[in-house]
């Protein structure tokens, strides 16, 4: 373990980062299309996971 902390985003921040609506982002999280964790009633998403999602998504593939 390197001791580095992962940057963790709220659903609102992650939606802005991906440039999608917050409703769309929450639906993608619920459906398991995006990785995230619920902390209480709120979603938390690692920025690293969003970057990985963007890199692995095929060009011209499914839209969020």
Q: How far apart are CA 22 and CA 36, in angstroms?
A: 14
Residue-level pLDDT at 3: 59
**Residue 34: closest CA among 2, 1, 3, 64:** 64
Residue 1 in this model has a pLDDT that exceeds 70: no
Q: What is the pLDDT of residue 6?
A: 82
pLDDT in tens, 6-50: 899 999 999 999 999 999 999 999 999 999 999 999 999 999 999
């Amino acid at each position: 373990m390197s001791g580095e902390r992962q940057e963790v985003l709220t659903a609102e921040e992650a939606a802005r980062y991906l440039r999608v609506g917050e409703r769309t982002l929450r639906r993608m999280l619920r459906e398991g299309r995006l990785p995230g964790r619920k902390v209480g009633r709120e979603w938390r998403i690692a920025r690293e996971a969003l970057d990985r999602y963007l890199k692995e998504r095929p060009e011209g593939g499914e839209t969020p």
